[in-house]
Structure 1
Amino acid sequence: MLSSVLVSEHLLLAGGGHSHALLLKRWAMHPQKRPKGLITLVSSSSASLYSGMVPAYIAGLDTLNGINIDMRWLAQQAGVAFIQAEITGLNPDGTILLLNRPALPFDRLSLNVGAITKQHAFRHAIPIKPLGPALEAIAIADEEANDAAVDPFHIVGAGLAAVEVALSLRRRWPGRRLHLYIGEHQLRPSMGQRLGEAGIVIKRTTAPDTSSTLLCTGSHAPHWLAASGLPCDARGRVRTHASLQVVGHPQLLAAGDCAVIDGNQRPPSGVWAVRAAKPLARNLERLSHNQRPLSWTPQRRALQLLGCAVDRRRPSAWMLWGPFLFGPHPWLWRWKRHLDHRFLKRLQPDASMAAHSRNTTQNAAMACRGCAAKLPAAPLEQALQRCGVGQLSQQPEDAQTLGTTATNTTLLSSVDGFPALISDPWLNGRLTTLHACSDLWASGARVATAQAIVTVPAVDSSQQVTLLSQTLEGIQSALAEQGATLIGGHTMESRQASNPPMALDLQLSLSVSGCTASGQAPWRKGPIQRGDVLLLSRSLGSGVLFAAAMQGHCAPHHLDSALQQLSCSQHPRLNELLALSQQHPEAVHSCTDVTGFGLLGHLNEMVAASEAISVNLLVDQIPSFAGALECLAQGITSTLAPANRRALASLGTSVRVLREGQDISYNLEPAIEDLLIDPQTCGPLLVSCSAPAAATLQDLGWTAIARA
């Protein structure tokens, strides 16, 4: 018997499959079972589609959000760090390779990366797996679904998945010609009969290789698994022992469609992936305590329910048990829908799971992070006044001037930082750096150097190395692309207990320095000139999306889209402004960046730095991230937003809000009010310039939101 000494290690969960989803649910509901140490989930998507309900979605019976499993939220509740990245390779000795990111080290690895469709000789046809691109292709094909002259849509495959997808497409496209190519295979009589009744033509020839061909032709594991040197079967599935440990690699475990147990081969199916979750979790827990893992023998047969939703009044389903087929019957359809919804409900955000998480990670963990964690304006001003430097709050600038050089450039410096915004240390390092750099960009300066102060949690030194190195890599990724350099910094260890996920206990601050172009004076927050147009470089709403995501009320693809935009550097926007200033030296009059005090708070600073100027804010022109207004309409706000409400006092006086030429300053919808004060991380640049210059910027993608 092995000892039960606790092993502190970096456990990496690769893939967002059903086994890992259920494993996260287990650790969220029973946090005492979660292995100690750093745990990271890496998945190419923050939302995992529940495969059992995909045909119903294709048929139009479910929404995309309705079949999503929010892996980011599940990880948060389980105390697991979440990294959204595509895995491109594996070194079994201890690293996984990620697309456009540094490699990630691990001590123990669990693989649940699913499978992809075999494409055979097809090059242009659409594989059904991965599901995301396939569903997007089907949505695009909707545009010609009712065109009688359009070519048929082709489905290739003779298995259960091909039949179910074909029938679902018939319900989706009642009038489009559908061809099912089955080759030399035989269909079960009742399935062939139902396909014929649905007007789906069965073909035994070779399907055309076009973008209107959908492949349901069996699956194999991702190619990088076999390329890594792991033992794999003919389908590329990783071979494991009954303990789910990979043959020859006891530190690696695998489950789901990417794995197969030696001596207990089973076809790829969500049934076995779901059943594997408990033994996988149990053995990861035992191994973390240095205990011997237990064997698992999966059931030999799986009960499968196959939907036949072609009948719009009475959908039905088949039941398959080994070689026996029953149905189709409407009662079986109702049973399938009941089981599918019950399974998905187990993995949806709910109060009980959140309560378990708060009990272990403290209520403070629900406070907003990033720039929303900054001190509200009122106590900040009081503190500055009390210590005799109140003037710093009277005319706050984005960056401070250090002096001029012999080449007539102005040196500027700024500092910024906050508690970790997300549990991905690389992306958090990048976002924090871009946020800090925006103070210099708003002053018309290019960033040259940065120094960082990083506080890491008081955990194992090996885990500190992982967290710190990933953070520094993220910082460098943001600096290098704009020609800047990380020249030094300081590290500290927290003196507070770390709560999982420990990556959220990182704190990062940066001091950035740079200079303006020769002969160019730094841009200030004012004065705005009469006739100016004010423009934003990108959308608002990051604060509320992050707040909603913490509560499980943000659609995963909305946060993904926002993060994708926020992680893009805005130094190209600075270059656009500098090029404009070179051609028209008096074009740019003032500039700032929209951060913690929200659009209205920073706009008020610009107005206060101007003389006898009022601004007409064109409310319907203000860009916002997808999903932000919906979250605000539900009453969700960032924890800093209530303190920012004092900025609303300017509405109707120095800032008039217009809609279709009418002043609605005193009649704003609550969601619009909240958008105006939503704290932003990596927020947009807000520039005030002449009307001709504004027209040039609009052609480059800037959005005009106000006029002086």
Structure 2
Amino acid sequence: MPLTSPQHLVLAGGGHSHALVLLHWCMHPQRRPTGWITLVNQQSSTLYSGMIPGLIAGHYERSEIAIDLRRLCDRAGVSLVIAEITGVDVRQRQLQLRDRPALSFSQLSINVGGGTRPGPLLAIKPLEPALETLDAAQGPASPPFQLLGSGLAAMEVAMALRQRWPKRRLQVLHRPESVPSRLLSSLSQLKIDVLPSTALNPCGPGLRCTGSQAPEWLSSSGLPCCPDSGRVRTQASLQVLGHPTIFAAGDCAVIENQPCPPSGVWAVRAAATLAHNLRAASEGDRLRQWRPQQRALQLLGGVNPEGCPQAWALWGGIQIGPHPWIWRWKQRIDRQFMERFDQAPAMESKAMDCRGCAAKLPAAPLEAALEAAGLKSLGTAPEDAASLGKDWLQSVDGFPALISDPWLNGRLTALHASSDLWACGTSVASAMAVITLPKTAAALQQELLSQTLSGLRSGFEPQGAQLIGGHTLEARSEAPTPLSLGLQVSLSVNGKRPARPWTKGALRAGDQLMLSRSLGTGVLFAAAMAGAAQPGDLDHALQQMGTSQHPIVEQLQTLISPEPEALLSCTDVTGFGLLGHLGEMIQASHHRLQVVLDASAIPALPGALKLLKAQHASSLAPANRRSWSLLDPTQDHPAKVILARAGGSGAPEDDQAMLELLVDPQTCGPLLLGCTESMANALLQANDTAWHRIGVVQAMQE
């Protein structure tokens, strides 16, 4: 029977099976199930297991073996949620997540991989802590580095470590009867000590490679699992036994009566059947049965005593090698696998409009419209918030969904809107929301709204604010893919008016310009739409954007309480970029001022300047470039802003990238304040300071 509409398919985990399912939908969008699809994974990328030994050995950089799940989801029309999965509520049909609300699903697919079985030493899986340990354990240290395990994976890791550390003492602790004699001989030739597992020193440095075990939450969720490995049991259709709307594949699953050991080989081969059956189940079509072969060819990488790479080919009890050409064959297969993800169809080649605060109207038509409507002062002397009598400040903000995760998008919108009040020296006390939902089935709208509201609350409640009401609308345009990008949130925020609110127009000669965080969100998300941004750079940006700045406002209020005159001027840097908002401060101030910016001190998010040099830019950036006029002297007056660089000028491409950074539109951007030198020094000396001194204000020389 087909699933009843509406459908929300949730892919739990970014393992090899799901990565290939996403790739299949990229290549064949007509085969993608209808409705809303969400991938949930703890990281935005996943490492290809076949190349991990090569990564350990030093043959590859991490970027060469990482599958970019965010880029893959964007191209497959799938929402991406970065979160830790903690369980499944089968009865309520919810995937439970840490530190955020559960996701409701009508159909669930599980491909979460497995971890190393419990025991002494640090586990090889999850991989990230193991890689950090290896990075920290360089050199011929003592005591010896131990590897506990009897499988082929432990042998391959041992040989990879020999390439990584040619002279370090290595020990493999194993059960002798479980390892092929030719492999043991090769380990000995590489001067890797082969010892019984009883020789383990549990306090020494080492890794545990003792087989795979599925995450504990699978069995605790009540799904049918194997008692020894915790792997969820499925039919040949990959449907979990007794749960026809839940599928599972990869290392966390095993087909009933057709057991195969956990291996990336079978996870890869199951993907085609899984992709077909996820769509077929939603439409009531016949499901395919997958019967994995009992044996598979395994290519095991290694090294000879001279340090040259080589590999074995193993098929059941048959071993060929070791030989260098088998290594070259393995490399070719692995690289071809990764190239498939690079060849996924790109988004439309036409220029795409940016989202978030980069979707705001450019300054020129905004000012012209305000003047035509008789509201010129709102464009020529704007403030971040307006006073409501003597007691309250009010502001409004919002934008089309920046990212496909509705909870995180709600949180970012709340923090972005709050920054208008933070720039006045107060926190938000209450907020009201207008949320426009995509035109879709009511149950999906309910889930999108619930996730968005929870995200808004997560941004407001830590600063003592309440969401007190609002309004919902349904869009009249065609719903996008994924549906979550059809959300638009607008917020009215209110806060108690300080006795002396900070304003844009209170800069004074001698003030130091301080910036609270790095720039570059606009170009990073613009480049992401073209598939050019690195996953780690986007992760870093989202982490910064999702961090509330209300604690630093509280810090500022504490520091200025003995001397309120130390800080009078502040604004938040948003859609018009640093230079545009700085220009508003200069224009609104009552004195003839000039600002000297230190280009070498202006912080950029990782990857931002590199992307600007490659001529990526937000769709709002061209309009923002009118602010460059602040850098140009006129016949009668010097420039209002001077861009200098400590130590002299940089290369032309560096200077141009900095000019572009100055007009890059920011979502959840920094606070920019002018304060006395003593106040600036106090901020820079504070523990865990986020502040950067980027310039100084001086009286304009006639």
Same-fold call, TM cutoff 0.5? yes
Q: Does 1:27 align with 2:28?
A: no
CA displacement 1:50-99 (0-9 Å, x = unmatched): 11111111111111111100011111111110000000111112011101
Match of 1:36 in 2: 34
The correspondence of residues 248-287 of structure 1 with structure 2, limited to 5 A, is 248-287=242-281
**Please, which moves more after superposition, 222-231 or 628-637?**
628-637
Q: Following TM superposition, by how much is the alpha carbon of 1:644 offset from its aligned partner in structure 2, in angstroms?
A: 1.0
Match of 1:332 among 326, 332, 337: 326
Q: Following TM superposition, by how much is the alpha carbon of 1:32 offset from its aligned partner in structure 2, in angstroms?
A: 1.0
Match of 1:407 in 2: none
Q: Does 1:561 align with 2:540?
A: yes
**Please, which moves more after superposition, 416-425 or 305-314?**
305-314
Q: Does 1:222 align with 2:211?
A: no
Q: Does 1:508 align with 2:497?
A: no
The correspondence of residues 40-55 of structure 1 with structure 2, limited to 5 A, is 40-55=38-53
Match of 1:628 among 608, 614, 618: 608
Match of 2:669 in 1: 683
Match of 2:309 in 1: 315
Q: Does the residue aligned with 1:41 lie in a helix, a strand or coil?
A: strand
Match of 1:477 in 2: 458
Task: Determine if contact 2:505/2:569 at 8 Å carries over to the other structure.
Answer: yes
TM-score (norm 2): 0.95
**Please, which moves more after superposition, 212-221 or 423-432?**
212-221
Match of 1:638 in 2: 618
Q: Label 1:313 to 1:201 Cα distance change in 2 as closer, same or farther (>3 A).
A: closer
The correspondence of residues 549-698 of structure 1 with structure 2, limited to 5 A, is 549-610=528-589, 611-651=591-631, 653-660=639-646, 662=648, 669-698=655-684
Counterpart-to-counterpart distance in 1, 2:629 and 2:419:
27
Match of 2:515 among 536, 541, 545: 536
Counterpart-to-counterpart distance in 2, 1:295 and 1:591:
64
Match of 2:231 among 208, 213, 237: 237
Q: Name stretches of at least 5 consecutive residues in structure 2 with no aligned partner.
A: 633-638, 698-702
Q: Label 1:525 to 1:200 Cα distance change in 2 as closer, same or farther (>3 A).
A: same
Match of 1:705 in 2: 694
Q: Does 1:85 align with 2:77?
A: no
Q: Does 1:139 align with 2:135?
A: yes
The one-letter code of the counterpart of 2:220 is A
Q: Following TM superposition, by how much is the alpha carbon of 1:527 offset from its aligned partner in structure 2, in angstroms?
A: 2.3
Q: Following TM superposition, by how much is the alpha carbon of 1:388 offset from its aligned partner in structure 2, in angstroms?
A: 1.7
Q: Label 1:438 to 1:499 Cα distance change in 2 as closer, same or farther (>3 A).
A: same
Q: Label 1:608 to 1:662 Cα distance change in 2 as closer, same or farther (>3 A).
A: farther
Counterpart-to-counterpart distance in 2, 1:298 and 1:527:
72
Q: Label 1:383 to 1:127 Cα distance change in 2 as closer, same or farther (>3 A).
A: same
The correspondence of residues 178-193 of structure 1 with structure 2, limited to 5 A, is 178-193=170-185
The one-letter code of the counterpart of 1:506 is L
Counterpart-to-counterpart distance in 1, 2:320 and 2:515:
61
**Please, which moves more after superposition, 280-289 or 294-303?**
294-303
Q: Following TM superposition, by how much is the alpha carbon of 1:540 offset from its aligned partner in structure 2, in angstroms?
A: 1.0
Counterpart-to-counterpart distance in 2, 1:459 and 1:10:
12
The one-letter code of the counterpart of 1:494 is A
Counterpart-to-counterpart distance in 2, 1:212 and 1:165:
15
Counterpart-to-counterpart distance in 2, 1:532 and 1:173:
54
Task: Determine if contact 2:20/2:268 at 8 Å carries over to the other structure.
Answer: yes
The correspondence of residues 36-435 of structure 1 with structure 2, limited to 5 A, is 36-93=34-91, 94-120=93-119, 122=120, 125-142=121-138, 145-147=139-141, 150-204=142-196, 205-210=198-203, 212-233=205-226, 234-309=228-303, 314-348=308-342, 350=343, 353-355=345-347, 358=348, 366-404=352-390, 410-435=391-416
Q: Following TM superposition, by how much is the alpha carbon of 1:5 offset from its aligned partner in structure 2, in angstroms?
A: 8.7
Match of 1:468 in 2: 449
TM-score (norm 1): 0.94
Task: Determine if contact 1:7/1:289 at 8 Å carries over to the other structure.
Answer: no
Q: Does the residue aligned with 2:402 lie in a helix, a strand or coil?
A: coil
Counterpart-to-counterpart distance in 1, 2:649 and 2:582:
18
Q: Label 1:665 to 1:259 Cα distance change in 2 as closer, same or farther (>3 A).
A: closer
Q: Following TM superposition, by how much is the alpha carbon of 1:313 offset from its aligned partner in structure 2, in angstroms?
A: 6.2
Counterpart-to-counterpart distance in 1, 2:195 and 2:497:
68
Q: Following TM superposition, by how much is the alpha carbon of 1:600 offset from its aligned partner in structure 2, in angstroms?
A: 1.2
CA displacement 1:268-291 (0-9 Å, x = unmatched): 000000000010010011011122
Counterpart-to-counterpart distance in 2, 1:642 and 1:146:
54
Q: Following TM superposition, by how much is the alpha carbon of 1:541 offset from its aligned partner in structure 2, in angstroms?
A: 1.0
Q: Label 1:203 to 1:463 Cα distance change in 2 as closer, same or farther (>3 A).
A: same
Counterpart-to-counterpart distance in 2, 1:103 and 1:274:
28
**Please, which moves more after superposition, 306-315 or 621-630?**
306-315
Counterpart-to-counterpart distance in 2, 1:592 and 1:513:
17
Q: Label 1:666 to 1:72 Cα distance change in 2 as closer, same or farther (>3 A).
A: closer
Counterpart-to-counterpart distance in 2, 1:306 and 1:666:
49
The one-letter code of the counterpart of 2:223 is L
Task: Determine if contact 1:316/1:329 at 8 Å carries over to the other structure.
Answer: yes
Match of 2:524 in 1: 545
Q: Does the residue aligned with 2:529 lie in a helix, a strand or coil?
A: helix
The count of aligned residue pairs is 684
Match of 2:636 in 1: none
Task: Determine if contact 1:302/1:322 at 8 Å carries over to the other structure.
Answer: yes
Q: Does the residue aligned with 2:331 lie in a helix, a strand or coil?
A: helix
Q: Label 1:313 to 1:633 Cα distance change in 2 as closer, same or farther (>3 A).
A: farther
Q: Following TM superposition, by how much is the alpha carbon of 1:626 offset from its aligned partner in structure 2, in angstroms?
A: 1.4
Counterpart-to-counterpart distance in 2, 1:210 and 1:465:
52
Q: Label 1:311 to 1:107 Cα distance change in 2 as closer, same or farther (>3 A).
A: farther
**Please, which moves more after superposition, 202-211 or 223-232?**
202-211
**Please, which moves more after superposition, 339-348 or 206-215?**
206-215
Q: Following TM superposition, by how much is the alpha carbon of 1:6 offset from its aligned partner in structure 2, in angstroms?
A: 7.8
Q: Label 1:104 to 1:390 Cα distance change in 2 as closer, same or farther (>3 A).
A: same
Q: Following TM superposition, by how much is the alpha carbon of 1:202 offset from its aligned partner in structure 2, in angstroms?
A: 1.3
Q: Label 1:385 to 1:594 Cα distance change in 2 as closer, same or farther (>3 A).
A: same
CA displacement 1:653-696 (0-9 Å, x = unmatched): 11112222647799962211111111110001111100011111
Task: Determine if contact 1:12/1:109 at 8 Å carries over to the other structure.
Answer: yes
Counterpart-to-counterpart distance in 1, 2:365 and 2:317:
72
Counterpart-to-counterpart distance in 2, 1:303 and 1:692:
69
Q: Following TM superposition, by how much is the alpha carbon of 1:325 offset from its aligned partner in structure 2, in angstroms?
A: 1.3
CA displacement 1:323-351 (0-9 Å, x = unmatched): 21111111110110000000011112x4x
Q: What CA RMSD, in Å, does the superposition of the two structures yield over aligned residues?
A: 1.8
Counterpart-to-counterpart distance in 1, 2:485 and 2:441:
15
Q: Following TM superposition, by how much is the alpha carbon of 1:545 offset from its aligned partner in structure 2, in angstroms?
A: 1.3
Task: State the identity %.
Answer: 52
The one-letter code of the counterpart of 1:333 is W
Q: Does 1:459 align with 2:440?
A: yes
The one-letter code of the counterpart of 2:676 is S
Match of 2:635 in 1: none
Q: Does the residue aligned with 1:694 lie in a helix, a strand or coil?
A: helix
